[in-house]
Amino acid sequence: MLVIPVIDIKNGKCVRTLQGLDDKTEYYQETPVKVAKLFRKENFKAIHITDWNGAIEGEMKNYDIIKEISHSVDIPIQLGGGIRDIETAKKMFSELGVYRVVIGTAAITKPGFINKLLDNFSASKIIIGIDEKLNNVVTNGWVNYANITPLEFAKFVESIGIKRIIYQDVTRVGNCCGPFLGRIKEIAESTKLKITSAGGVGCYADLKALMDLNLPSVDSVMISRALYENNFPCQYLWRNIEKLDISLDLPKIK
């Protein structure tokens, strides 16, 4: 299972969001660019970035930082937050060089937009983010209810040509209590979509639980807080090397 580290950016800084609640947002000390380079040194194969200002306000506010990240690491960047029209999507591919874009709110409010994306780009370049709260899809940074269930929405986006979704239960985001395995299983068994699980993974046992579902379509997982807080033993080796400045044959950073 591919593990994709997450960099959430708000007001130019790395943040940890807890269930999308503004008053529980925590800022990490390291800059987004430094974190991206560290993840690359730890040999991750891709990075997910969310522009939280874009997700909530509908307009990307961290463009320059994301551009610097995309030009600083030599692995694919997956980007979401504030991509709500075809011009912005084109800009992300052409100017930032991101590998895939994640569409959340616009997939609900502008379903025709998804058709335009699929007309302009390969389905492998477009991911739909399905954020759930109490069996209802939520939008605009998890603020508004869309009055459609995650399964209903998954079936809809599949019907118009989408091949992959990112699914998460937002009540689990940032609290490391484990992913919503039941919902992931439901969507996987009811569609042919590829599924990236997000939200709730806090330790190896959570990764093992996802793998034990034995569902080939659930092939990747996004992790945020648990990586920042060194919840996986392999991280200690890499980060102690960083502190001690020991020279090893680390991947080269552009």
Q: What is the pLDDT of residues 34-43, one digit of tens each?
A: 999 989 988 8
Q: Is residue 170 part of a domain?
A: no
The pTM score is: 0.87
Q: Is residue 238 part of a domain?
A: yes
Q: Is residue 193 part of a domain?
A: no
Judged against a pLDDT cut of 60, whether residue 95 lies above it is answered with: yes
Rg over CA atoms, the chain? 17
Q: Is residue 168 part of a domain?
A: no
3 vs 162, 196, 222, CA distance in Å?
A: 21, 9, 6
Give the pLDDT confidence score for residue 246 in this predicted structure: 38
Give the pLDDT confidence score for residue 237 in this predicted structure: 55
Q: How far, rounded to the nearest angstrom, does the alpha carbon of residue 51 sit from its chain's CA centroid?
A: 10
What CATH number should be reported for the domain holding residue 93? 3.20.20.70
How many domains does one find in the chain? 1
Question: Which residues contact residue 194 at a Cβ distance below 8 angstroms, ignoring those fewer than 6 apart?
Answer: 163, 164, 165, 217, 219
Q: How does DSSP classify residue 134?
A: S
Judged against a pLDDT cut of 50, whether residue 226 lies above it is answered with: yes
Q: What is the mean pLDDT of residues 210-232?
A: 92
Give the pLDDT confidence score for residue 60 in this predicted structure: 83
Q: What is the mean pLDDT of residues 53-67?
A: 87
CB atoms within 10 A of CB 214: 8
Q: Is residue 233 part of a domain?
A: yes
Q: Is residue 217 part of a domain?
A: yes
Q: Is residue 15 part of a domain?
A: yes
CA distance 90 to 169: 29
Q: Give the E-state strand segments of the chain in sequence order.
A: 2-10, 13-18, 21-27, 47-51, 77-80, 100-103, 126-132, 138-139, 144-145, 164-169, 194-198, 218-223
> Which of 34-48, 90-104, 139-153 has the least mean pLDDT?
139-153
CA distance 173 to 238: 25
Higher pLDDT pick, 249 / 166:
166
Q: Is residue 159 part of a domain?
A: no
CA distance 63 to 69: 10
**Residue range of the domain that includes 235:** 2-125+202-244
The band of 230, judged by pLDDT with boundaries at 50, 70 and 90, is confident
Annotated catalytic sites, by residue? 8, 131
pLDDT in tens, 154-196: 999 999 999 999 999 999 887 889 999 999 999 999 999 999 9
The band of 54, judged by pLDDT with boundaries at 50, 70 and 90, is confident
